[in-house]
A = this chain, B = another copy of it.
Amino acid sequence: MQSTEIISKKKNGEELLPSELSDFLHSFLSGETTDYQMSAWLMAVCFQGMTKKESQAWTQLMWKSGSTLPRPHRNDFWIDKHSTGGVGDKTSLLLVPLVLAASEKCLGKDKIRIPMISGRGLGHTGGTLDKLESVPGFSCRKNIQEATKLLEKNGFFMIGQSEDIAPADRKIYALRDATATVESIPLIVSSILSKKLAESLDGIVFDVKVGTGAFMKTRDSARALGQALVASSKDHGLKAIAVLTSMQEPLGFTIGNAMEVLECWEFLLGKQEPQFKSLVVELGTWMLYLASQKKQDLSSCRKEVESAISSLRSQELFIQMFSNQGGNFEEFLKKHQTPNESYLDVKVVSPATGFLTHCNPLILGECVKEMGGGRQRTSDTIDARVGIRVFKKVGEPVQQGDLLAVGTLKKDGNVQKIQEKMNSSFHVGADSQEPDPMIYEVIE
């Protein structure tokens, strides 16, 4: 069947056969089907969706376009967490040490492996890789062979999507980004799952973020995505859970690459923002629960993760997370705990006495990107030091003149614009307001 007929069939809402999808993709990868034909098809998918059968076939095709981690048959459980992207989301950096520490204690050594392939900052959201790379010497560029060795030796790795992981998805994602065809549940699902299937996982926990700072603005759209992710994972033989969580304000106390790594370290030393802590515990609990394969119940998994927070083993694993891949955490601490004269602080103070009612994660995320903490173009380099610290969370009482946030940026940056944007992100009202719960719902 010719590409034009494939596009036409999708446009008319007819189901495409797996063989038709396969021909279409391979003809695209060989260059016979053009970028403009693929784009027209992607837009038709945005309107017509995909049937379960189509979605499964398309996910397989994206996945099989690249390599898969070799999976020795052993008595271990491979698990990962995927977040749809938020502001100040440093959760992965804590989940790796906490879940490993907890599982060593309750399941035994080497029972869980976490092969984590993460992304870079996208739009106004940060990326795990950029945070990790704020530690001097850390490298996330590992090929399949190197990654396999890391996993074997340490029980986890934290790397980027290499050339050989789902290359078809990478090519198609670039088109989607330029043609406003990102927002389509079957396309999002196939893109995420193709990369996760390449990790040879047994289970996965999805953190589907909802709200101003997330790609999904409403609970309904997030629920639909969560359900599709869980269903599609199960179709491919994975155990899966999706947790819908709030992205109405930045997570924790910081936004910015080095600041977030520091916050995680302080988290393990005892200073935790309560809402962020509840998110870390929730996701960690589900990871451990899936991996325990019913040997543990949910509440005992929760207790194990909670007690891992204050364990020395977690601190040790946190430092190993960097050193395993060449990172020097001691040097990082020395560098980022010392002030630097090229930077200045921009302060936001409360204009009134009352309660903090809003703290806009989208605007603050954009501020950090503009400060140099994210990329305008993929070729841009990141300034790890810039970022924003917030001192009050939504719902807290504030006095006029109280410090709400401090932004740190280069002295030659656009200070006035950042000051104005930061000011506009915070609202203080007279009435006390319950903040959104962190965990909305769980889709099993």
Contact = CB atoms under 8 A, between A and B. Distances in A.
Interface stretch (A3-11, A91-99, A231-239): A3-11
A175 interface: yes
Contacts of A177: 4
Contact of A36 (B4, B11, B179): B179
Nearest to A179: B40
Given A35-B35, A38-B36, A175-B36, A180 B43 contact: no
Contact of A35 (B3, B8, B34, B181): B34
B40 A180 contact: yes
A354 B170 CA distance: 63
Contacts of A3: 178
Contact of A4 (B4, B38, B44, B180): B180
Nearest to A42: B40
A36 B181 CA distance: 11
Interface string A1-39: 001110110010000000000000000000000111111
Nearest to A9: B180
A interface: dominant SS: helix
24 contacts: A3-B178, A4-B177, A4-B179, A4-B180, A7-B43, A7-B179, A8-B180, A11-B43, A11-B46, A11-B181, A34-B35, A34-B178, A35-B35, A36-B36, A36-B38, A36-B39, A37-B39, A39-B179, A40-B42, A40-B179, A43-B43, A43-B47, A44-B47, A47-B47
Interface residues of A, number: 25
Contacts of A40: 39-40, 42-43, 179-181
A49 to B, nearest CB: 12
Given A44-B43, A47-B47, A180 B7 contact: yes
A81 to B, nearest CB: 29
Contacts of A38: 36
Nearest to A46: B11
Interface of A: 3-5, 7-8, 11, 34-44, 46-47, 175, 177-181
A181 B42 CA distance: 13
Contacts of A35: 34-36
A34 B175 CA distance: 11
A179 B33 CA distance: 10
A5 B42 CA distance: 16
A179 B46 contact: no
Contacts of A8: 180
A298 to B, nearest CB: 40
Contacts of A181: 11, 40
A11 B181 CA distance: 9
A8 B181 CA distance: 8
Given A7-B43, A8-B180, A43-B47, 15 more contacts: A4-B177, A7-B179, A7-B180, A11-B46, A11-B180, A34-B36, A36-B39, A36-B179, A37-B178, A39-B43, A40-B43, A40-B180, A41-B43, A43-B43, A44-B46
Contacts of A179: 4, 7, 36-37, 39-41
Contacts of A7: 43, 179-180
Contacts of A43: 7, 11, 39-41, 43-44, 47
A302 to B, nearest CB: 41
A376 B67 CA distance: 40
A271 B47 CA distance: 52
A201 to B, nearest CB: 32
A183 to B, nearest CB: 8
A279 to B, nearest CB: 30
Nearest to A33: B178
A3 B180 CA distance: 9
Nearest to A176: B40
A338 B121 CA distance: 76
